[in-house]
Amino acid sequence: MKRTENPNLHLPRIGAESLPNDGSQRATYSRMSLDGAYGAWYGPFLSQVAGHAFKSWSYAPNALPGSGTIHRQEDQARAAVDHFMDHSVQAQREERAGHTLPNDRLEYVNGTVTIIDFSAQFNHYYPVPEWPGEEPGSVGTVEAVSTGLGRFYLRREKRVEGGGIVMQQPAQEIQALLEPLYTHDIHENYWGANDDHQSYPVASDVANAAFPNTWPPYEPRRLPQEEEQMVLRRRRAGLTGDPVAGKPNEEERLQQQAIEHLEAKIRFNTLPIKYE
C-alpha cells in the first residue's frame, strides 16, 4: 500500500491535551508518543477529600485514561508519568505488534517534539523504500539527501493533481532538530559497496517527525525470527545494546574488555621463565 497524507481529521491530534473535568487543572507536564497512541501527564488537583495534591493519567490503545492517580508530592506525579513512558510503552508496543520495534527516540513533551534518546537506529529496522503511487496525494518514503558540504537535508516526493511530482521538505525548525539524529544514523550504519554518499533512507521515527500527517504511520521492518527473539530476551533482561547490528552496550563492552585483560594475564603467567 502506498502512503498517502492522512485525510482523517478525527485521529488523535499530535500534542493535544485532554483532561477530565474533575477538579484537575491544565497539565503541568505531559508526554506523548510520536504516533499519538500513548501518552501520560499530570497536573494540580484539588478536592475536599484530598485537598491540594497532584493527579496523573496515562493512556494506551488498549486502555483509556480512567480516573487518574492522586499523588501528594509533585515529584511523585512526574515520576509516574516518566515511568509509564520510559518503561511501559515499549513493552506494550512489542506485545501489541507481535515483534520487536526500535526504541522510541522522539516524543512530544509539553506539546513540542523532543529527542529523548540520541542513540543510532540501525537499518535492520528501516521501512522498505517506496515511490509515490499514481493517485494524487500519494507520497514516497522520506530520504536524507547530501548538500555536498558534508551535511544532509530531508525530503520526500508527493504526487499531485495532473500526475506531477513535487518535492516536500519539513519545516526548518523540525529539520534543525532532526539533523543530528539522522546524521548519526547515516554515519553509524553500513550501506554496502554501492553507497554513493548522496542519499540515504531514514528511520521511521525521523520520517514521522518530519511529516506528521503521513498515514498509515511508517513502521520498521520485522527482524528474522531468531534475531527477533534474541533482541526481545535482551531487552527484557535490561540490556540495551543491539547485537544484530553489532553494537554492544557500554556494560557489555567493559565486561568483554575485562575478560580480554584476564586472558592476557593468564597467557603471560603461563609463559616459560627465560633465564639469562
Q: What is the pLDDT of residues 258-268, one digit of tens each?
A: 777 787 777 77
Q: Please check whether residue 220 lies inside any domain of the structure.
A: no
Residues 184-212 have a mean pLDDT of 90
Terminal Cα-to-Cα distance of the chain (whole angstroms): 78
CB-neighbour burial class of residue 210 (10 A; exposed 0-12, middle 13-18, buried 19+): buried
Domain termination residue (choose one: 89, 112, 135): 112
pLDDT at 17 over 80: no
Both 103 and 145 in one domain: the answer is: no
Q: Please check whether residue 274 lies inside any domain of the structure.
A: no
Residues 193-221 have a mean pLDDT of 85
Both 203 and 229 in one domain: the answer is: no
Q: Given this model, what pLDDT does residue 12 score? A: 42
Both 201 and 260 in one domain: the answer is: no
Q: What is the pLDDT of residues 40-69, one digit of tens each?
A: 999 998 876 667 899 999 999 888 777 889
Both 94 and 31 in one domain: the answer is: yes
Q: Please check whether residue 203 lies inside any domain of the structure.
A: yes
Domain termination residue (choose one: 215, 237, 254): 215
Cis peptide upstream of residue 132 (ω within 30 degrees of 0)? no
Which position has the higher pLDDT, 127 or 57?
57
Q: What is the pLDDT of residues 83-121, one digit of tens each?
A: 999 989 988 888 877 777 777 899 999 989 999 999 888
pLDDT at 234 over 70: yes
Both 24 and 63 in one domain: the answer is: yes
For residue 179, give its domain range: 123-215
Q: Please check whether residue 46 lies inside any domain of the structure.
A: yes
Both 163 and 197 in one domain: the answer is: yes
Both 41 and 106 in one domain: the answer is: yes
**Reported confidence tier of residue 39, pLDDT bands at 50, 70, 90:** very high
CB-neighbour burial class of residue 108 (10 A; exposed 0-12, middle 13-18, buried 19+): buried
Q: Given this model, what pLDDT does residue 187 score? A: 92
Q: Please check whether residue 261 lies inside any domain of the structure.
A: yes
Domain termination residue (choose one: 55, 82, 112): 112
Q: Given this model, what pLDDT does residue 50 score? A: 62
Domain count, the chain: 3
Q: Given this model, what pLDDT does residue 183 score? A: 96
Which position has the higher pLDDT, 226 or 42?
42
Q: Please check whether residue 86 lies inside any domain of the structure.
A: yes
pLDDT at 251 over 80: no
Both 254 and 179 in one domain: the answer is: no
Instruction: Tell me how far apart the alpha carbons of residues 121 and 105 are, in angstroms, rounded to a whole number.
Output: 9
**Reported confidence tier of residue 13, pLDDT bands at 50, 70, 90:** very low
Both 108 and 9 in one domain: the answer is: yes
C-alpha of 122 from chain center? 12
Both 11 and 108 in one domain: the answer is: yes
Q: Please check whether residue 197 lies inside any domain of the structure.
A: yes
